[in-house]
Amino acid sequence: MRKSTLNMFGSEWFGMAISTLALSQIYILSYGETGNVWYNYIAEAFSITGIILFLVILVVWIIRGLAIRDKVFTHWNNLTRLSFVALIPIIGFVANYQLIYFFGLSGWSADLSILNFYGEYLFALIIGVLLGYRLYTKEINPREMNYAIVIPPLAIGTSVFLATPLMKYFGGFEAQSMYFLVLMGLGIFFFLYIFIGSLALSGHVTTKVHDTLPTTMLPVGIASLIIINIFTISGFKVIGNISLSASTVELVSILLWGFEVWNFLVVLLLILTKPSRGTLSVWAYGFPLGLFATSTMKIFDFTSYSALLWAFIGISAALNILWVYAWINTVSFIRSKLREEVREKNATVSGRIE
């Protein structure tokens, strides 16, 4: 693969894999609600597809870094690309959780999963620290101030997906350790979202960069992830007297869900009036909507409020449509990049002839 072709493969490509895993989560939830085995088959197909996409993109991304070493610094010098690196631990947490869901846990798979949990957690924490360091020390381009920078805080909060089945399997000290890390992660991503999310909002409303508009869906994911975390925390009591009452969890969750609905409708209006074309940023729609659907069903399980099922159906339809739309944009993006490459090559040849 030529260096000019490799150059287009930055960390933003990981959005393709996590959005596909988010689509799998939609069908997992649908299967859990209806019992229709076809939903389970579809979920498994999307999950495996997402994992394969991730592995392929990861290999190409690493080859790119080795072949074009100066391009490694584009991730260090660009907050958006540095932030998208945090999709790697998110994919690690979610993919591992889905593999456990489909295939269960045995002795060796449980050991590998818990090593993966601690490894991904450490990776997410490191990326978050590096982002904080760059925010304090880098001369920032206003275009970098978009909601992509909330991904590193979001990453550490997704540990709850993998922690839940592992805590049930191991118990004892391991369960206590993971529970403590989940609590710590909730504190990290909640408070960092307040501060970093404010910077991102300010960046969006002042610069009006059209290509990054899809990242405005990410706050939906943040609020959803808080809901998922507090439901999980309320369901386990493995450290001291830490607990949340069911009524408190329901109240806070519905308040947060209201914010999700508002933000989702705003972004939906942006999609309809200012659609993004030929850009990979549209993959940013996927994962937040997967979290939105999950939090909706969590609240439904607690409240049995039937209107939430219709909301889930609407979210699921939106995610399916936007996933297809993201693929169309990806094909358009690749074609435009290849055309640019051909034009540059022809210009170089013409210059040599002259």
pLDDT mean values, one per 10 residues, the chain (354 residues): 64 91 95 93 96 93 73 70 90 95 90 95 93 85 80 90 91 88 89 83 73 80 88 73 75 89 89 81 89 92 90 94 92 79 60 56
Say what the pLDDT of residue 73 is: 60
Say what the pLDDT of residue 353 is: 56
Say what the pLDDT of residue 318 is: 93
Helices (H), strands (E): how many in the chain? 14, 0
Q: In angstroms, rounded to a whole number, what is the distance separating the alpha carbons of residues 339 and 301?
A: 50
What are the residues whose beta carbons fall under 8 Å from the beta carbon of 213, sequence distance 6 or more? 204, 270, 274, 276, 281
Helix (H, G, I), strand (E, B) or coil at 327: helix
Q: Which two tokens stand for residue 154?
A: 């979001």
Query: What DSSP string runs through 229-241?
Result: HHHHHHH---STT
Contact 288, 224 (CB under 8 A): yes
| Buried/exposed 7-35: b ≥16 CB within 10 Å, e otherwise | ebbbbbbbbbbbbbbbbbbbbbbbbeeee
Say what the pLDDT of residue 28 is: 95
pTM here is 0.90
Residues in the chain: 354
**Residue 150: how many other CB atoms lie within 10 Å:** 25
What are the residues whose beta carbons fall under 8 Å from the beta carbon of 70, sequence distance 6 or more? none
Contact 292, 29 (CB under 8 A): no
Say what the pLDDT of residue 11 is: 83
Query: What Rg value do the Cα atoms of the chain yield, rounded?
Result: 21
Say what the pLDDT of residue 99 is: 94
- Domains of the chain, each with CATH number or no CATH: 105-347 (1.50.10)
Helices (H), 210-306: 218-235, 246-273, 286-303
Q: In angstroms, rounded to a whole number, what is the distance separating the alpha carbons of residues 264 and 247?
A: 26
Contact 110, 163 (CB under 8 A): no
**Nearest by Cα to 84 from 5, 173, 144:** 144
